Structure formats: structure tokens, C-alpha cells
Amino acid sequence: MAERLRVALCDDHAVVRSGLRRIVEAEADLEVVGEAGTAKEAVALAAATTPDVMVMDLGLPDSSGIVATAEVLQASPSTRVLVLTVHDDVAYLRRAFSAGAAGYLVKEAADVELIQAVRQVAAGRQYVHPTLGAALLAPEPPAGHLGGPGGELSEREIEVLRLVALGLTNPEIAERLYVSVRTVETHRAHISQKLDVHNRAELVRRARDAGLLDEDSS
């Protein structure tokens, strides 16, 4: 029998780790060699077990998963890191790959795509969640910074703001960006919080002032 792929799990929520473990261990060729709930635990786990694949969350209590990814690879250079996160944002994807990640998967697709992603990165290839693969091929939002009291908008939030200003509904934006309506609602909430803007007219003004509508003006 061929040797099984050894997978480690890092997520700060025990219930999430439990679900991931069930998905992984349902496959005859995969086994979970350990779990971690913090970046520090993930690095120690990688050093102790040298897993083939480390499934890494980005939102950890003691550090970011981006930093933890780089540290895991220092502790176990042969390990391939697969980021599994709620962030369907190209900016996070780029940062994760810059830190050495081999794959990036959005949590809402984990039940369908996790095993495929694990096997692909273990085989030495990269894996990008299809939603973000499509986003990478799309034109980038205009360059520059856009933010307010709550911080700067991410690339994906800038794109959502532009589409809102163009008059698209949440379902239409979701279809355009290959994400769920709930994800669009979350982005809009973050945009309103960061810009301290709570009505569409003001959002349109901010988008226009930032030059986000220039390419669409006649």
C-alpha cells in the first residue's frame, strides 16, 4: 500500500479543525498527523511532524497566518502550506503566496475542494480557489489608496465599491465577482465601516472622487 499523505491542521476554532479532520480522514490515502490552534503551535507541530501539507487559517489569535506560513516553512522546508480562509480577496492571496504558500482555498468551498487542493499542493503544484483565479485574470481596480477612519479598503473592497457606485445590486455583484451574495454583503459592511459612510449616495461620491468611475463615464 502506498504511503499516505500526512496532513496537519491549523485553525483557532476546534469545531473547524474537527470538520476538516473528518473530511481528510475519510480519504484512504490521507491522514491527519496533528492539530494547532495558534501560529506558535503550528510552527512547533511542523517541526515535530514534518507534514506533507499544512492547512493554515489566516485569522490566528497570536499572529497572522501569513507570518505563520513563512515560519512553518522555515521549521519544515519540505512542508507545503495550503491556506484555508474566509478571505476571498486577491490581496490576501498575493500576500500568502509571497510568504511561500502553495495553495489558497476559501472556507465556504472546503467541503468540496479541500481534498483536491491538498493532493495538488502535495504533488508540487499550486492551487488557487477558482473564484480568486477568475479575479486574478480580471482587470485590477485603479491603483492608489482609498480609506477612512476605519482603515484602507482592500483591492476586493475597492472593486465592490466601484460596482455599487455603478448601480449593481448585491446579487449582480456576486455574479460578476464569482462570490456569494452574503460575501458581497460582508464586503459592503466593511466598506461602510472603514469609510464611515452609511448611504449609497455618499458611497457613489467617494467612488467618483477616487476615480473609480472614470473608465465608465461617457
Q: What is the pLDDT of residues 160-181, one digit of tens each?
A: 998 998 889 999 998 888 788 8
Helices (H), the chain: 14-25, 39-49, 65-75, 90-98, 110-122, 130-137, 155-165, 170-177, 181-195, 200-209
pLDDT value, residue 105 = 92
Architecture of domain 139-212: Orthogonal Bundle (1.10)
Q: Where in the chain is the domain with CATH 1.10.10.10?
A: 139-212
pTM recorded for the entire structure:
0.66
Q: Where in the chain is the domain with CATH 3.40.50.2300?
A: 5-134
Collapsed DSSP state (helix, strand, coil) of residue 187: helix
Mean pLDDT by 10 residues, the chain (218 residues): 87 94 95 96 97 94 90 96 86 85 89 93 91 62 62 85 90 86 90 85 83 57
Fold type of domain 5-134: Rossmann fold (3.40.50)
pLDDT value, residue 129 = 79
